A and B are shown apart, each in its own frame.
Chain A
C-alpha cells in the first residue's frame, strides 16, 4: 500500500520567514493533494499535482511534484499567522485501474507562525 511520510512533523517560524514542508512517497505518485486544517475544523483543499515537474501556486503557497513523482514540497513565502495550521498531503493509491479517489494521507505537519 502507498505510504506517505511528511517532514518536518512540526515547524515553528517567525512571521515573515519562508518555510518548506515535504511529502515523500514509497511509490510513484499519480495524484498528490495538499490540504490545510485549522484546529477543530475540516480540511481545506489547497492544490493538486499530477505531472512530474508540475508546480502550482496560490497566493504565497507553492507546491511542486518532482520529476520522479515520489516527492512533493509545499513552500510558503513570507509566512503569516493566518498560515498556521496542520498541512496534510494525500495521494491516490494506484495509477492503473479505478481507485475511486481513495486517498492515503501523510501524518501531517503542524505549522506555528509567531507574530
Chain B
C-alpha cells in the first residue's frame, strides 16, 4: 500500500517547454487534488477532481491543465512552462466525493525548476 505516489521527484525545464506531472493513489479515493507550495505562501490549490470524470479549477489554475485518467490517476500538465511555475507540486487524495471534513493524504511532492 503506497498511498499517494508522484513522478518525477525533480525536474528542470526551460521556459516554454511542456511536461506532465503524474500522480496515482491506491486507497480507492474518489477525490484528488493538485497543490503548489511556494515559500511564505503555504499550499495553494491548482485543480481538483471531486470524482472520476470531473475536474474543477482551484485558486491558481492559470497555466495548468489536468486529466483524471481513471479513479487512481490524476495528472497535471504544464503546456508552456514559465519561471513563475517554479515550485513544489503536491498531489493529494481523499475519500470524497460528497463528504466534507475529510482528511487529505499527500504525495511526496515534485520539485520543479523552470529556467
Query: Smallest distance from the beta carbon of B29 to chain A beta carbons, Å?
Result: 10
Query: Smallest distance from the beta carbon of B43 to chain A beta carbons, Å?
Result: 4
Enumerate chain B residues within 8 angstroms of A45, measured Cβ to Cβ: 103-105
Given A100-B97, A105-B43, A107-B41, decide whether A42 and B103 contact each other with a Cβ distance below 8 A: no
Instruction: Assess the A106–B42 pair: CB atoms within 8 A.
Output: yes
Given A42-B90, A106-B42, A107-B40, decide whether A101 and B109 contact each other with a Cβ distance below 8 A: no
Nearest-neighbor residue (CB-CB) of B3 within chain A: A42
**Chain A interface, DSSP helix/strand/loop, else mixed:** loop
Provide the bound-state CA to CA distance between A82 and B93, in Å. Answer: 26
Nearest-neighbor residue (CB-CB) of B103 within chain A: A45
- Bin the interface of chain B by size: 20 to 34
Instruction: Assess the A101–B106 pair: CB atoms within 8 A.
Output: no
Enumerate chain B residues within 8 angstroms of A90, measured Cβ to Cβ: 43, 104
Please tell me if B61 contacts chain A, counting CB pairs below 8 Å: no
Among B40, B102, B108, point to the contact of A101 (Cβ < 8 A): B102
- Residue numbers of A with Cβ under 8 A of B are 1, 4, 9, 30-31, 33, 35, 40-45, 48, 50, 88, 90, 92, 95, 98-108
A-B contacts besides A1-B59, A100-B97, 16 pairs, CB < 8 Å: A42-B109, A45-B105, A48-B103, A88-B42, A92-B100, A92-B101, A95-B100, A101-B48, A102-B48, A104-B45, A104-B59, A105-B35, A105-B42, A105-B43, A107-B40, A107-B41
25 contacts between A and B (CB under 8 A): A1-B59, A4-B42, A33-B103, A35-B106, A40-B109, A40-B111, A41-B108, A42-B106, A43-B92, A44-B106, A88-B42, A90-B104, A100-B50, A100-B56, A100-B97, A101-B31, A101-B48, A101-B94, A101-B96, A101-B104, A102-B58, A103-B43, A104-B59, A105-B35, A106-B42
